[in-house]
A = this chain, B = another copy of it.
Amino acid sequence: MAHSLTEENYLKALFNTANKAGEVNVAELSKTLEIKMPTVTSMMKKLADKKLVHYESYKPPRLTEKGRREAGLIIRKHRLTEMFLVDKMKLGWEDVHDIAEQIEHIQSPVFFEKMDEMLDFPKLDPHGSPIPDRNGKVVLKDYTKLSDCREGEKVKLAAVINSSSDFLKFLNTYELRLGTKIKIRSIETFDKSMKVSYGKARAETLSNLVCERLLVEKE
């Protein structure tokens, strides 16, 4: 019934890198997991035997309903943990991913229920990603990339994409956090960099690379 740590990591990767159709290339899985393709292929067969993925030779694997649920529950544990580490243990949002990556594999329903309760049943993790519910289901918000906004718009930072420690430390030094209200002053047509104002920063320039990683809500 329970899955190995390895299997759990494949389930997570399938969940996180799936396209709208729920499919992922073996090549992409291989890349994100840093595991060679033949190994991924053989694990897909194993997970197919366990009814966790749909798999046919030469076609992109896809989580089954069951697999998506299991994956969602692991991600739920990951995100609850991140929230706990930030809110209760006062760690920075740039420091919690690696710890959560380990704690998400803890087998103890009561442990995570206690966390959930202590956090008053949060819906979002510290990076703005939705925490799947008790059935592993996620409700996706329709945020916009800052890079897709227009001059003059006023938006609120709602989530970050690909929350690597380095990127989050960069945001820290710029005093950009979730909830920060941003006004787009101007957009440089050449490199799509944006001149924005927020908080004390009255005319900060953000590169397109940064803007593409920031998800915002329009006012």
- Chain A residues in contact with chain B, CB under 8 A? 85, 88-91, 95, 98-99, 102-103, 105-108, 110-111, 114-115, 118
Contact of A89 among B91, B106, B107, B118 (CB under 8 A): B118
Residues of B within 8 A of A98 (CB): 108
Q: Is the CB of B102 within 8 A of A114?
A: no
- Do the beta carbons of B114 and A106 come within 8 Å of each other? no
Top 3 A-B residue pairs of the complex, sorted by shortest distance between their CB atoms: A89-B114, A99-B108, A102-B106
Cα(A95)–Cα(B103), bound, Å: 18
| C-alpha spacing A88/B119, complex, angstroms | 13
A99 touches B106 (CB 8 A): yes
Interfacial chain B residues near A102, Cβ < 8 Å: 105-108
Q: Which residues of B contact A106 (CB under 8 A)?
A: 99, 102-103
